[in-house]
Structure 1
Amino acid sequence: MIFGAVVAALLVAVGGCAAEVPAPTPNAATAKTCRSLVSALPQIVDQQRHREVEPASDFTAAWGHPAITLACGVTKPAGMNAASKCWEVNGVGWYAEERDSDIRYTTLGRTALVQVTVPNKYTPQANALVDLAAPIKSQVPVVRTCV
């Protein structure tokens, strides 16, 4: 009886290893771009290994504990507008939102909005963006450069 409880507890613990990342619902053209991006992502970001996400999606990815997360095909953040400050990291423009426990970055000037959330544990948080710049540049076309 005790053995069964221990096994059940271990299964719950192992099943809980996936990072929770809300799955975006992009339109067909954006979905194609996002699938290409996600398939081109590195296995390691900011020295953190790739991990599974829940719910499973073609548009999300995660690395490390706590999770650095990526979602492609997201909607524009409420505070992002034409006057928003654009931070460029390795040729990719980002809008940054500092929150309580993380910084959420959203690409600017690309055909698909890509959002990367980096917990405060990882400093500087922009290191994750360095590792993600090449696949974003190669898979998500630029419409307007960061100004």
Structure 2
Amino acid sequence: MSLHRRPLRVLAASAVLALAACSPGGSVARVGPPPTPPAAVAGLCAALHKELPESVAGLARTSTEPESDLTAAWGGSAIVLRCGIPKPPEMADPKQDGVHVNGVAWLLEERDKASGGGYRFTTGLRLAYTEVQVDKEHATDAGMLVGLSEAIAATVPEGIASY
């Protein structure tokens, strides 16, 4: 994975937060079964869960089903975070794109249209892998990873996850 510092070219640097008005109130994100990381990683994810922002890209935080310290969502299922996932095989591909946001390295992947499009961002060089899936409508806000990166940097130490 190439993790050189550069602007988020995948995300259109649109500062238009008008999309925030699309946040469905009171919705629940169905995230499937939460990851099953080792206990030490689950502890890091629980600490992260407490520090996650109440809004991301102007979308309010919503409940997840099932409820877990390993998952979080904003705007229903517009933005879904899962902490403690296994290492993605794409991390080993040096041709994959990556960026750094507030000291956190992210692997960038465009999701195929069959899975609804949008993007998947996965942290690297941290003791817990954290995945953020963003629908195509909300992937245009370049500031989306800023608050998430701040919370991750504060709670998940740098290193190579070994699970």
TM-score (norm 2): 0.73
Bigger radius of gyration, 1 or 2?
A: 1
Equivalent position to 1:58, from 69, 73, 76: 69
Equivalent position to 1:127, from 136, 140, 143: 143
- Check 1:126–1:76 CA distance in 2 against 1; reply closer, same or farther (3 A cut): farther
Aligned length: 129
Identity among equivalent positions (%) equals: 41
Distance 1:141 1:70 in 2: 18
Structure 2: 5+ residue stretches without partners: 1-25
Structure 2 letter corresponding to 1:105: F
Equivalent position to 2:52, from 30, 37, 41: 41
Aligned to 2:153: 137
Alpha-carbon displacement from aligned partner over 1:43-102 (angstroms, at most 9, x marks no partner): 111100000001111110000144201010001223221624331112110011101211
Q: Which runs of 4+ in 1 moved over 3 A?
A: none
Structure with higher helix content: 1
Could you tell me how far 1:117 is from its partner in structure 2?
0.7
Could you tell me how far 1:36 is from its partner in structure 2?
0.2
Where relative contact order (Cα < 8 A, 6+ residues apart) is larger, the structure is 2
Alpha-carbon displacement from aligned partner over 1:106-145 (angstroms, at most 9, x marks no partner): 001000000011111014254221121111000000126x
Aligned to 2:100: 88
Aligned to 1:10: none
Structure 1: 5+ residue stretches without partners: 1-15
TM-score (norm 1): 0.80
RMSD: 1.8
Aligned to 1:70: 81
- Check 1:75–1:126 CA distance in 2 against 1; reply closer, same or farther (3 A cut): farther
- Check 1:64–1:128 CA distance in 2 against 1; reply closer, same or farther (3 A cut): same
User: Is the CA contact 2:70–2:82 (under 8 Å) kept in the aligned structure 1?
Assistant: yes
* Residues 1:114 and 2:130 are matched in the alignment: yes
